[in-house]
Each structure stands twice: as C-alpha cells, then as structure tokens.
Structure 1
Amino acid sequence: MYKCRFSTSRQTLTWVPDSFFSSLLSGRISTLKDETGAIFIDRDPSLFAPILNFLRTKELHPRSIDVHLLMHEAEFYGITPLVRKLQLCDELDRSSCGNVLFNGYLPPPGTQQTLSTETKFSTILDRQHVSERLILCPISDPGMVRIICGHHNWIAVAYAQFVVCYRVKESTGWQQVFTSPRLDWVIDRVALNAKVMGGSLGDNDKMVAVASGTEIILWAICPDGNGNEIGVFSLHVPVEALFFVGNQLIATSHTGKVGVWNAVTKHWQNQDVVPINSYDTAGSFLILGCNNGSIYYIDVQKFPLRMKDNDLLVTELYRDPSEDAITALSVYLTPKTSDSGNWIEIAYGTSSGTVRVIVQHPETVGSGPQLFQTFSVHRSPVTKIMLSEKHLISVCADNNHVRTWTVTRFRGMISTQPGSTPLTSFKILSLDDIDGHGGCAAGTEIGPYGERDEQQVFIQRVVPDTDKLYVRLSSNGKRVCEVRSVDGTSITAFVVHECEGSSRIGSRPRRYLFSGHSNGSIQMWDLTTAMEIAGKVDIKALGGPTEEELLELLDQCDLALTRTPDMSPAASLTHSSRNSMCRYTHLQFYTLKLHAYTITHTVKILQ
C-alpha cells in the first residue's frame, strides 16, 4: 500500500454543485483524516490527478487517459460536466447506427394485438388433448430474447411465452409475418422450417414449433402470415432438441426418447432408444450418438412404412472400440463419386475425450464404416465436434477447449496422404448465468457456425450480462471482429445464419450474426463483410478477449452467480434450430489469480 497526497482549495473542489466533494466538505459525508488533517479518500490516485486538474482548469486531455476508467471515477465523484465530456469522447467511435458491420435492427414486438392462449395439457389418457381459451392481448413487454433460429430467408425469435417469425425480401427488408398465441409455459426450444417441399401442407406453407418441458406445439404459417395450429404433442420426457429433417419434426431427449411428426401422415410417434448424448443429420437420416458407445441411424422418410409395427426402424451403424459414450457427432457427405451413393465421413467424440473419424466407401456400404483416425488429445469429455471440407474441430468440457486439425482431401474424399495434421489449440471462455437471467442455454451456443465448405466461426459471449460478442475463426481461434449492441442492451441470444441472395445474376448468399437482447430487440451484423475485411488485414495478433478486455468483462458480473459450461453433448449445429442437448453438472468455481495492490490517496484542503 502506498499513499499520494494532493493539495487544493475548497473553491476548486466545490464549484460543481451536488458533487461528492461538496457533500464531503459540508459534513453530509463522514470523513477520515490523518495526523496532518488531510482527508483520506480510498480511490485510485492516478485517476484522481486528471479529475483534480479538470476541477482546476476545466480542461480535459483524453489522449493521455483511459476514458472508460476516468468516466467511472468522474461518475463516482459526481463531476457532471466532466462525465458529459467523457461520454462525448467515448461516443466518437460509437453510434446508435452501429459500425460498418451493423446491418439492421428489429424493435421488440410492440403493441399490436395478438392471440393469447391459456393452454392446459392432459397427458395421462390423451397426450394430444388440449383445452384452450383465446383472448386478445397486447404485447406490452415481450421480455428478453431467449432463442433465435433461422432457415432460408426466415428467422424465428422465441421469447418466454410466444414466438415471432420474420421474413426478409430484397425490396422490403425484414418484416414480421407471424406471432404465436401467448402460452402459459416458458419456451425452451424452437424449430423453423421455411421451405416445406410437397406434402399436404403445400409448397408455400412454413412451419414453426416450440417446446417446453415434455410438450411440443406445432403451427403451419400460411402465405398471408396467419398461423394454424397443427397439433400439440408430448414426448413424455423433457425435450432437449427440436429440429426439422425435411418436413419431419424431430424431438429427442437424452433419456432415450425420439419423437417424430410426419407431414404426410400427420402422425406423431414416440420411440424408445438407447440414452442419447448427441445427434446430427445427413439427408433424410437422423444419426444418434448414444450412451452405450454406439451410433444409430433412423431414416425418417421411411417412418410411415413402419407404422403398422408402431416402431421406428433404428439401425446400429457403428460401435466405438472402447464402448465410450458418444458425446458429440458430425457427419460429412462428400460429392457423389459413384452411382451407388456418397462417401460418408463421421467424426465423433467420446466421454473419455477421444476423437475418432470413421468413413464408408460407396462400394462397401454393406460392410459398415471403417475406423480411419483416432486422436487422444482431450482429457475431458468432448462436447462439440465438426468435420468440414478443410478442418476437423473438437471442443471439450475444459472451459470450451478447442483443438483443430487440417483435413487433406483427394477428389473431395478424406485422404491419408499426408493425413490430418494438428493446427491449433485455444479456448472459448463463456460463463453462464446460474439463475437464467442471462439467457437460455439453447440460445447462446458458441458454435461452430457456417456451411461446411466455408470457413466457420465461433461466437464468444464471455459473461452473461454483456453487450459485446467476439467472432472468432473456428480453425485457429483468431478474431474476425467484435460486435457491440447499438443500444447498450445486454445480449441474451445469438445465432449465425446464411440468407439466400437476391435473384440478380452473381448474387450470393450472405452470412449474418443475429443477436437477441434483454429488451426484446434483434440486431443484425454482416459477417460476410467481416470475413472479407479480416482476410485483407493481418489478424494473427488477435484472438479472443485480451487480458485487459477479459478483466473488464469479468468486472461486470458476479462470478459467484455464474458457471462454466461443463458437459453439453450437442448436435454439430448444422440444423437451423441449432438446439442442443445441454446438460450441466454441479457448479464449478474457477479462481482468477491476479496480481494486485492497494492504492489510496489523501487530499490536503487549503482553506
């Protein structure tokens, strides 16, 4: 501990009315004095010096100071003129219109009249029995955004008790087209199908589904924006993943339940399987990674053919040599190399931390996949995995520790010459709120996001109550950009989604980051432009948050009320719903060891 002494006059300290100093010297705040009569103030003297200089000269030299730190001190002392000047300095690089990456703002659903429903489920005798009362109710306060998912040129935004769908057109931009009835339970999962092909619903219809607990409700959205309830279904166990495979709605639970709704038969069916830890899709196939070390597949298009047996056709595809639980799964379909089908490649991670790649030749479909490579680099369970055209990416439960490899291909197929080589290792630190005030776990998945034939990205939200996100390349962890809420509100959900291009010749799809906020708004960021800019500059020195940025973010939250993601086996996140089977073990506490010292100062006031 060391002390600094400052000498000044009463007039200098008190010319700003209603400040800390006017209250201190008038006796409204108790004082502590040393043997010389100097008043002791327990604040940082390095920041007090420019504040005292401003009180003396009314001048400010922001280039020599940290504007954020000084503004915090000025607010503490109540020096209003200084606070205003510092706010203007801080706002030079910030705008409510955002920076060059900011692409749009959707305000919270407002005062329009919407249907509200009070729904009670009776699942003892008839799981689809619904009694409901519809009333008109304005959305006065939608609350925070819980989940965002996208499909083609649509997004679905889930709030606590209703879901809103938006559609984008080149001529009109984003427009709200559907608002669900208000439900009397909290939405945990959402799935969107904006391109229903064939079937009895018609090519122009869209579908959106939400789940809470064990129940699922499904709507069809007509071209005019009106929604018709298709049905309410029950999985009988908590729904932990909800997504579409073609026109089929799929719900899964780690307990070993799979529910399927078929658009042709309009039939809902539950199937018991082995406890599920992970999943992915490949065409019409649902691939399941299970607790017994096996990978199973279900052809959901053939589902109606098995209706007489009241059973889904569940087939074992592969069994892990060590029979470890399959905790993460990613399927990659290469371009067709023969008339007999695709070369199928599957990367998976296990509860022991092992990463394996298995492949199946088109000519040897009947013999099943063969083990191709094994990596034993993780010491914690693998929680996410992604096999793409150029990279293999795995994430484990140790604070989202990421390992990446380059993948060598020959004519589109994975090759052993020279084979997969290690690329990099990094972490995506992300703390979650214990009480859920920071958002829903299904709405804040780190990724990776993006098409498998392009560079993919992670999205890092370091602390629950923050207005900042870091976009990082999934292959090497380098920072592409950071985005900051244009209205200062906390970010409670996010997703990366690629929207289709216009009908103009040469137009290509563009990738966007959608962020949902505590006030119910949606903000959009152009990641295609961000990737192009990052490709033109040297980003090798930038990764995730720097130590200074990290400490600044951690100062914004109470670490005792946060947790680090531990075990969350999930899909490969290629599904538009991007819901995962998220589970957390007991709270783990991590101590940040910081070198610090105590600074105090005393002020000698000259009468």
Structure 2
Amino acid sequence: MTNYQEIVNLNVGGTKFATSWHTLTWVPDTFFTALLSGRIPTVRDETGAIFIDRDPNLFGLILNFLRTRDIDLNNVNIRALRHECDYFGITPLSRRLALCDEMNHSSCGDVLFYGYLPPPLNTPLPSNSSNRNSNGCSRKNSTASNADAPCNRTHSRNSSLDLRTVGRIPSQDQLSRCGRGHSRAASLGNADCYKGIRPPELNAWADSMKVQIIKAHHNWIAVAYTHFVTGYRLTDSCGWYVVFQSPVQDSVIERIALNAKTGGGATASGTNTTGTDVMLGIASGPLVRLWAFSTHSEPVRRTLVGTFNLGVRVEHLLFVGPQLVALSGAGARSKAGVWHTSTQHWQTQDVAHLSTHDTAGSFLLLGTNTGAINYIDMQKFPLRMKDNDLLVTQLYKDPNQEPITSISVYLTPKTNLCGNWIEIAYGTRYGSVRVIVQHPETVGHGPQLFQTFTVHQSTVTKVSLSENYLISVCSEYNHVRSWRVTRFRGMISTQPGTTPKAAFKVLALEAPTAQPHNDCGPYGEQDEEQIFIQKVVPDTDTLYVRLASNGRRVCTIRSVDGSAVSCFAVAECEGALRPRRLLLCGHRSGAAQMWDLSAAIDKAAKPALSVGTGTSTSSAEGDESPIPDGGPTADELVRLLSACDLDATPAPPPLLPASPSPNRPIP
C-alpha cells in the first residue's frame, strides 16, 4: 500500500526539493504519477534523490502550486511556465496559464486588425481526368480551346460570413504537430504525434490550401493558391467579398499580377472588354495567361484575353499602366514581354543581361549586368515598325560599369517653376549606391551623376529614393543604410546635402524560393513614410513592422488564428471611406488576414513629445539622438529561432564580392 505521507526527495537541475508523495500525485495522469508508479524509468543522484533534468526555478513554482493550489505570477515568464506545466502534465495550472496568455491575444485581433478572409469552401485541385471550371465543378461539353465562358459570382457579398459559419479548415501547424509546447511523451521521445497518419491526399490538400502569393491594387485583392486565384473586392457598404475565381491551372502558379480600373478594348478573340473592372495575369514557367473580369453584369463575366509565351521562365510579372509586362533575367537569355491593351499585341524582346527593374509613369526602367540603365516607354506603341522590336533605349551607363542590382525612380512633383524631372538611385553588385538626376540644367545631356555612396561591402539588393529619404539594403542579413535628402523646389539639393540617418538590419531567414513573395520592402508611396516588414523565420505567425528611415518598430503583428504567415504584401486600398495602408498576409491555413497600418505609422513617424512641455525630444535635422533597433529583442529572436532549423537556412553572403570590380580596390 502506498504511504501518501512518504517523503520524496528530488534533484531538479541540481537543486534539491523534498515533498510528500500526496503533493506530487494529487493531480491524476501527470509526469509524477507515471514516475512514482514506475512507468517512467528513474535516475538517482549520489544521495538517492530522483534526478529530473528541468529548470529548478520553474519547477519550484509548480511544486508550490501542488502544495497550496495557488500561484504568484509576479515577474514570471508565463510562456515558459506554461511550457513546463505541459511537460509535467499539470492540467489545472496549464489551463489557468493558457487563459492568462490568451487574455493578451484574441482571435478577433487587436486594434490594427482589419479583416479576415477565410479559405475557399471547396479547394479545387487539378485533374487530368476531368475538366473543371472556376468553382471546382465539372464542365460539360468543354473544348480544348482557350476560350472561357462567363462564370457565376463565386460567392454572395455575405460569403465571408457564410464561410466563417461552416468552421475553419485546420491550419498547417495543426496538421504537422499535436499542439503548442511539448507533451510529456514527446519530450521523452516516446511518441510521434502524427507518425504515419498523413496520407498523400492530406499532404496534397494542405499544400494546395497554402496561400502562395497575395497582391492588391486599388480596392481589389488577389489571393493565389497553388492552382487557382480568388479575387476579392472592397466596398464601403459590403466590406470584402468574393468576386471571381480563376480557372484551375494544371501547373503551379509562380507569379501573378493584378490591375484594377482598366480601360476597354477588344480581346484577341474579338470580344469587347469595355467596362472591365480588373485584369489578372498568371505565370507558370514561360507561359502567361491573362483574364479580364467584368462585374457590371450578372453573372460576372470572365474572358480569357490570351495565353502568351515568353520563351524563358517568367521571373517578374507586373502591370505598367494597362500594359502587362513579363520579365526574365536569366543571364544572356534575358527577355521582356509586353501585352499592350490598345493594340492587343504580345511582343517579346531580348534585353541583354537584365538584372533589375522599376517603373515610373509609363516608363519601365531596366538595370543590366553590364552597368547600363535602359528604358521602354509603354506609350510608344506599336513601337518600332521597321523590325517590330520593343524600343529599348539606353538612358545611362555606370562610370565603373558595375553590374546594377537594384534601381529606384523618383519623379519630382510638377510645379510652375519646373516640369516633372527624373531622379534615379541604383545599387551595384560591389556595394555602391549612386544617385543620378535629370534636372532642367542637364536637359540635352541625359541624367548626370549626382552622388555616390560606398558604405556597403556586399551586393545592394534594394534601393529606394523618396521625397525625404534615400534607403539602401545589402545582402548581409538585409543591412539597411538610410540618408535624409535635402530638396529645393522639389529637386534634390546639395545644400546642406544628403546626411546619414540610420543603419540597422532586417534579419529574414527565408528560403530563396519564398523571398519574392516575402519581400521585406521598403513599402509605401514616395511622398510618405516607408516601412519594412520583417518576417524573421519561415514558419512564424509574427511580423515586425518597422520604419524604413530609422528602423524604429511601428507595431508587431500576430495572426489571429495562430497559423504561420506564408506570404505578405503592403497596399494602399481605396475602397474604404479614406485610403488606408493595409498589410495583407496569406497564411498556410488558406486564410488571408489584413491589418490597417495607417494610424500606427503616423504615430511612429511623429517625434516623441517631452512630458509636460509639448516640445519634441529630437533636435535639428541630421542631429537626432540614436534610435534603438526596432527588430525583435534578444528574447523574441531566440523564441523565433527555436522553431527554425538554422542548419537548413542559406549561409550568409561573404562580406566582399566574389570577384572584385576592376575599378574598385579591395579594402
């Protein structure tokens, strides 16, 4: 017979504890009941005490709860204590801690949470045996042509409410592991939660449900899954509602482009597209498919404009005005393809050594590995009639012929004193950041070199020139340098000149294949404060929003359903009462979630006011006090990295380029 008053001596992580058998076992089915009954093998120290290799400080709190049925949570890490409770199986305390933890996190989100778009009810999968329409139903009397029949609106304006009421599809996290924290059995290595129970069908379903890409334009959002795209529209009266769904693609969708408020015209098949609300481009490999959707009639009319072949894998798909542009920078086989709205003509052109691009009005600027900046004016169609080539014109040549790896164009505002002049910032493979300008005094001579910075020692991957700041990012863990720009009558000026602002890192351990859909930024219009979105590890539900000018944290975003963020984008949406800057997140669960960043950015961008004085704590421009880094703290970073296999992440790039520039000495 068990003596419940028997003293049990424990050695927890080197700290000795003594308690009674009854205290340890009054909660049934715990680590201690299994330990003292012999179901778990015991290890004893030199004094005969049972050794348990756990944190003694947290164990002391749990033991005190077992003694008194009460606990003091002052200065206690609730997450860590809950982890230990899950390990030891102390269910009563674990439930209390879970409630304490959940008080700070709601499935309704915080004040910035803007909307939730649940995954589609029926997830269509490509099938070789049957032809399916956009609703996943079999289509009778289908043909092999590319013609598309009109499709019904996939859901009513209340579809989001209907989808919520049928229950949420389990998240990828729920499919891949038993739950949060470690169970006692899993920690002991005696259980494999989902070993052998995931059939191929479940894997295919889970992969198909993951949001691959999310894009927005005006008041439209396109959510791309593996084989189809769902389109949503925002109105003041109805909020977000489903408007269209693309046909199911046999191949995996790799790129999408969305353009709202397009003009009318005739399609390649002769169908008039006047009144088209939105156009959607989808790229898979070298093929690009373009659809036009019109919501001015019921049912919603979907028209396949055409299927185009770039000849090489499409790496970038975008709209420049109403023109659809596909780009590929595959070395010597770099190509550009353009579909023009008015001429209904698809045209491809070799563009030598394409490495980066940017847009400005109707201009598409192309940076090359040879150090040249070229441009295509989309308004000059049907282009060169003699040889039917795209009119690719060289705008500028780098003085050292360094490969151009990033580019940003800024058009100065039009005023009574000057026209709309162009300024270009670009970065190179060898770390240089240059600014060139086309101002009134340089007319007839092309853009002139204005300023050069050589502060980076690695390839410059991003550059952004805005009204107030110049921002560059290099490949060394996304190291950011920012400068404050001085302007006179809207044009960049040398008096008092560009001054350094901040230096910080936006760490993101993302696989190269996922980086195009998890671009850290900077995001925002060029006449406003821009931001970075920091996603530290691949499988995380947490994003950090930071000011691009100084790295200060604007806010921290956590998914409302706990599912990992698979892709994100920032967009200015115009469907609300006033334009709002929204952070759009696609999730592994298939849902899309949105946060309104406008108010948070405005608040973070304003200098702090001294208490009781109403005066700013910052000094004159360029002399501001150092601003602490706004990325994850050391504790947050360790917690994020605990779910990331660092051995599987790409190695950091070398501090110096692999082959130095012939015109730049090695430091």
For normalisation by structure 2, the TM-score amounts to 0.78
Match among 19, 26, 31 for residue 20 of structure 1: 31
Distance 1:308 1:158, change over 3 A: farther
Q: Which of 267, 288, 312 is residue 237 of structure 1 equivalent to?
A: 312
For each residue in 1:355-377, what CA deviation from the matched residue of structure 2 results, as whole angstroms up to 9, or x when unmatched? 00000124644311000000000
Question: Is residue 511 of structure 1 aligned with residue 522 of structure 2?
Answer: no
Asked if 1:357 is matched to 2:435, the reply is: yes
Can you list the C-alpha shifts for 1:547-579, whole angstroms capped at 9, x where unaligned?
111111111111122236859xxxxxxxxxxxx
- In structure 1, distance between residues paired with 2:492 and 2:554: 28
Q: 1:201-258 CA distances to partner (integer Å, 9 max, x unpaired)? A: 3243310111122111111111143321111111111111100011110011112110
Shift of 1:308: 4.9
Q: Could you tell me how far 1:336 is from its partner in structure 2?
A: 2.2
Letter in 2 for 1:516: G
1:329-356 CA-partner distances (Å, limit 9, x unpaired): 0000011246984211000000010000
265-274 vs 422-431, which moves further: 265-274
- Give the drift of 1:301: 2.1
- In structure 2, what is the equivalent of residue 85 of structure 1? 96
Contact 2:126/2:227, CA 8 A, preserved across alignment: no
**In structure 1, which of residues 490, 513, 528 is the aligned counterpart of residue 564 of structure 2?**
490
For residues 603 and 81 of structure 2, what CA distance do their matches in structure 1 show? 32
Residue 40 of structure 2 is matched in structure 1 by: 29
1:430–1:565 Cα contact (<8 Å) kept = no
Give the structure 1 partner of residue 284 of structure 2: 212
Where does residue 333 of structure 1 map in the other structure?
411
* 1:523 maps onto 2:593 in alignment: yes
The root-mean-square deviation of aligned C-alpha atoms, in Å, is 2.7
Select 2:546's aligned residue among 457, 469, 472: 472
Cα 1:351–1:6 change in 2 (3 A) is: same
Change (3 A) 1:181 1:566: farther
| Bigger Rg over Cα | 2
Q: Measure the CA separation in 2 of the matches of 1:386 and 1:326.
A: 14
Q: How far did 1:315 drift?
A: 0.6
Distance in 2 (CA, whole Å) between partners of 1:108 and 1:303 is 41
Local SS of the residue matching 1:379: coil
Alpha-carbon contact 2:546-2:554 (below 8 Å) kept? yes
Return the offset for 1:305. 3.3
Query: Does residue 259 of structure 1 match 2:334?
Result: no
Distance in 2 (CA, whole Å) between partners of 1:303 and 1:534 is 45
Which of residues 513, 525, 535 is equivalent to 1:461? 535
- Give yes or no for contact 1:115–1:134 (8 Å, CA) kept in 2: no
Alignment of 1:372-383 (within 5 A): 372-383=450-461
Kept after mapping to 1: 8 A contact 2:551/2:630: yes
Q: 1:564 to 1:231 in 2, by over 3 A?
A: farther
1:368 matched to 2:379: no
Q: Compared with structure 1, are the counterparts of its residues 116 and 343 closer, same or farther at alpha carbon in structure 2 (3 Å cutoff)?
A: farther
Name the counterpart of 1:580.
Answer: none
Contact 1:188-1:442 at 8 Å conserved across structures: no
Work out which of the residue numbers 110, 117, 132 in structure 2 matches 1:99: 110
User: Is contact 1:62–1:89 with CA below 8 Å preserved after alignment?
Assistant: no
What is the DSSP-based 3-state SS (H/G/I as helix, E as strand, rest coil) of the residue aligned with 2:400?
Answer: coil
Note if contact 1:115-1:180 (Cα within 8 Å) is conserved in structure 2.
no
In 2, distance between residues paired with 1:315 and 1:133?
36
Do 1:431 and 1:565's aligned partners in 2 also have CA atoms closer than 8 Å? no
The residue type equivalent to 2:308 in the other structure is F
Q: 2:619 matched to which residue of 1?
A: none
Tell me which amino acid in the other structure corresponds to 2:320: V
Matches within 5 A, 1:569-588: none
1:175-197 alpha-carbon deviations (Å, 9 max, x no partner): 11111111121111110000213
Counterpart AA for 2:533: I
Q: Is the 8 A contact 1:291 1:324 kept in 2?
A: yes
Deviation at 1:131, TM superposition (A): 5.9
Out of 230, 247, 267, the position equivalent to 1:181 is 247
| Aligned match of 1:301 | 379
Unaligned runs of at least 5 residues, structure 1:
120-128, 568-584, 586-607
Matches within 5 A, 1:18-167: 18-111=29-122, 142-167=208-233
3-state SS in 2 of match to 1:164: strand
Name the counterpart of 2:137.
none
Match of 2:526 in 1: 452
Q: Which moved more, 1:105-114 or 1:248-257?
A: 105-114
The gaps in structure 2 that reach 5 residues or longer are: 1-11, 132-142, 155-168, 170-204, 267-272, 610-626, 659-667
Q: What is the CA distance between 1:113 and its match in structure 2?
A: 8.1
Paired residues in the alignment total 550
Query: What letter is aligned with 1:85?
Result: R
* Contact 1:432–1:564 (CA under 8 A) maintained in structure 2: no
User: What letter is aligned with 1:231?
Assistant: G
What is the match of residue 612 of structure 2?
A: none
> Structure 1 residue 266: deviation in Å?
1.6
Q: Provide the C-alpha distance between the structure 2 equivalents of 1:115 and 1:36, rounded to a whole number of angstroms.
A: 66
> Deviation at 1:28?
1.2
1:9 paired to 2:20: yes
Q: 1:134 deviation in Å?
A: 9.6
CA deviation profile, 1:129-169 (whole Å, cap 9, x unmatched): 97679999x99765111111111111111111111111100
Q: What residue in structure 1 maps to residue 639 of structure 2?
A: 552
- Secondary structure, counterpart of 1:454 in structure 2: coil
Instruction: Compare 413-422 and 339-348 and name the one that shifted more.
Output: 339-348
Greater CA drift, 220-229 or 1-10: 1-10
* Preserved CA contact (<8 Å) 2:428 2:460: yes
Letter in 2 for 1:511: R
1:92, distance to aligned residue in structure 2 (A): 1.2
Q: Which has the higher contact order (CA 8 A, sep 6+)?
A: 1
CA distance change for structure 1 residues 298 and 249 in 2, over 3 Å: closer, same or farther? same
Report the residue type matching 2:518 in the other structure.
Answer: T
Question: 2:219 touches 2:575 (CA, 8 Å); kept in 1?
Answer: no
Aligned to 1:422: 500
How many angstroms does 1:100 deviate by? 0.6
**Which position in structure 1 is the counterpart of 2:302?**
227
In structure 1, which of residues 190, 194, 200 is the aligned counterpart of residue 256 of structure 2?
A: 190
Amino acid at match of 2:460: V
Aligned with 1:323 (options 390, 397, 401) = 401
Q: Over residues 86-135 of structure 1, what are the superposed CA-to-partner deviations in whole Å (9 max), with x where a residue is unaligned? A: 0001011111111111111110111388998989xxxxxxxxx9767999
Cα separation, 1, equivalents of 2:111 and 2:417: 47
Going from structure 1 to structure 2, the CA distance change for 1:246 and 1:536 (only over 3 Å counts) comes to closer
CA distance in 2, matches of 1:197, 1:417: 44
Secondary structure, aligned partner of 1:62: coil
CA distance in 1 between counterparts of 2:123 and 2:635 reads 44
Partner Cα separation in structure 1 for residue 146 and residue 413 of structure 2: 49
Distance in 2 between residues matched to 1:195 and 1:565, nearest whole Å: 42
Secondary structure of the residue aligned to 2:95 is helix
